[in-house]
Amino acid sequence: MHIIWESDFMASVAAGILAGGLSSRMGEDKPAMAWKGRTFLDTVLSACSSFPEICVSAGDRGKFPGLDCPVVLDELKEYGPLEGLYQILRTIRSDYVFLLAADMPLLNQHFLQAVSERVTGNEDCLVIRKAGRPQPLCSIYSKRLLPAVLRLRSQGEHRMRSLFETGRTVYLDLEDLGYGTEVADNINTPEEYEKLCMTHGGRMEEFAPALRRYLEKSAVLVCYLDGFGYEMYRYAFRNKRIPFISSHFLVTPVRTVRPPLTNPAMATMITGVSPDVHGIHSHKERTLAVPTIFAGRSSSDTSFLEGDTRILVTELAPVLHPARQGRGCDEWIADDAVKAALMHVPFIFAHFHEIDDKAHEFGPYSEACMEQAEAADSQVRRISAAFDGRMVIISDHGVTDSGNGGVHGKTDDSYGNPEEMLAVWGEEYAAGRV
């Protein structure tokens, strides 16, 4: 059901989403960045779902082939958000547009509704302020402004704030609305993205419950890439070392556990609870205090594939794969994962170890580690071609470059770089989640 928010004057408010920026500070296309299993753009679209109209402004229509709302294109390329506002105002039927950037993942419907209800029909601009500073890309504009926007555009004026001087402007302070000041935050840099993920992002505890939900609906294959932390993923992505994973999976940073080590992180991954509950706090501990996702399963319905060592004592013992015949353990794991996929085994859990091995020996950004990331990418591609179901990528922790190889995060309550607490969770696009 679509809602048209009303005051004494019945004014219809559309949503206009700006998704055509260059993302130069981020270094990648922000609307397509991952956030809790969706893209930034999909997250904003979901927050706007109750508006009577939604219109997306883009520089290239080809980036958004699946949208079921109008997409307007910039005529003046790289002109800035004023061009997007111009194209949106020309297109919408509503009296007002709530202009929003596509890189605002903390937006929610309640906040958008509360602001929209403030429209009286008398104002030309209803402008949100944060700490006294106007937020022009999270504000409402009247369609009556179209001539003024056209005039500013023809004069070569790029500043959105110039509009505030051309008509009747009302300011709303974000601090007075009761939804927190972060609700309207833009995410512009990798550092801001990491902070977002550390503060509001997904947690390793969410993985096991998600797997259980997935298994109720389809076959599931987990590719567990040990040690492939978010910073290493970003480095491999930027250097084009993981073409299949980066083009076929929506990869989200996910907070791991303390300490960020394989045994406690894997235990949380397969139980859904923290180390304080499952009882695994170090490499030495292996016996879990709670059931895992393997409880009640057998080798007839589950293929649990490990390297040359059993990491944890689980209800179902893994099949081990030592290196032999000149091939590493990960190659043998990939072979067995393909066989299980072709046999239509409903749950395959494949734990690949060699990225972590190379990261510790040579460093997480070394050529040896990147070559292993390339090998993992090829193995994931090969398994994907054989598997019919939902395929997921997960890692357990990051690895920090020590200058003489790689080390895990510290094991006490203090941590250095954020990468030590950010793993990756990748959902295959074909799985229908994104």
Instruction: Give the predicted TM-score (pTM) of the model.
Output: 0.81
CA distances from 148 to 13, 44, 79, 85, 162 (A): 19, 27, 16, 11, 10
pLDDT band per the 50, 70, 90 thresholds, residue 4 = very low
Residue 201, pLDDT > 70, answer: yes
Q: Where are the domains of the chain?
A: 13-184, 201-431
CATH annotation of 13-184 = 3.90.550.10
For residue 129, the model assigns a pLDDT of 96
The 10 Å CB-count burial string (b at 16+, else e) for 189-202 is: eeeebbebbeeebb
**Do 108 and 47 contact (CB within 8 A), yes or no?**
yes
Residue 64, pLDDT > 80, answer: no
The mean of the pLDDT values for the chain is 91
Residue with tokens 């008398």: 122
Written as six digits, the tokens of 129 are 């302020």
Q: Which residues are within 8 A (CB) of 318 and not within 5 positions of it... i.e. 6 or more apart?
A: 304, 305, 306, 310, 351
Written as six digits, the tokens of 425 are 């969770």
More confident site: 265 or 60: 265
Select from 358, 352, 362, 359 the least CA-distant residue to 394.
352
CA geometry: angle 327, 265, 289, nearest 5 deg: 115
Q: What is the rounded distance in angstroms from the CA atom of residue 212 to the CA atom of residue 263?
A: 21
The span from the first CA to the last CA of the chain, in angstroms, equals: 23
Q: What is the DSSP string of 333-364?
A: HHHHHHHHHHTT-SEEEEEE-HHHHHHHHH-T
For residue 433, the model assigns a pLDDT of 36
Question: What is the architecture of the domain spanning 201-431?
Answer: 3-Layer(aba) Sandwich (3.40)
For residue 417, the model assigns a pLDDT of 52
Average pLDDT over residues 83-101: 96
Q: What is the rounded distance in angstroms from the CA atom of residue 375 to the CA atom of residue 363?
A: 17
Residue 5, pLDDT > 80, answer: no
The 10 Å CB-count burial string (b at 16+, else e) for 416-430 is: eebbbbbbbbbbbee
pLDDT digits (tens, 9 = 90+) for 16-41: 999 987 788 888 889 988 888 788 99
Phi and psi torsions of 198, nearest 5°: -70, -35
pLDDT digits (tens, 9 = 90+) for 172-187: 999 999 999 899 999 9
Instruction: Give the dihedral of Cα atoms 231, 237, 243, 247; nearest 10 deg.
Output: 90
| C-alpha radius of gyration, the chain, whole number | 25
Q: Indicate the DSSP class of residue 26.
A: T
Q: Which residues are within 8 A (CB) of 199 and not within 5 positions of it... i.e. 6 or more apart?
A: none
CA distances from 265 to 36, 167, 409, 416 (A): 19, 56, 12, 18
pLDDT band per the 50, 70, 90 thresholds, residue 151 = very high
More confident site: 2 or 162: 162
pLDDT digits (tens, 9 = 90+) for 204-247: 999 999 999 999 999 999 999 999 999 999 999 999 999 999 99
For residue 198, the model assigns a pLDDT of 82
**Do 262 and 356 contact (CB within 8 A), yes or no?**
yes
Q: What is the rounded distance in angstroms from the CA atom of residue 171 to the CA atom of residue 31?
A: 27
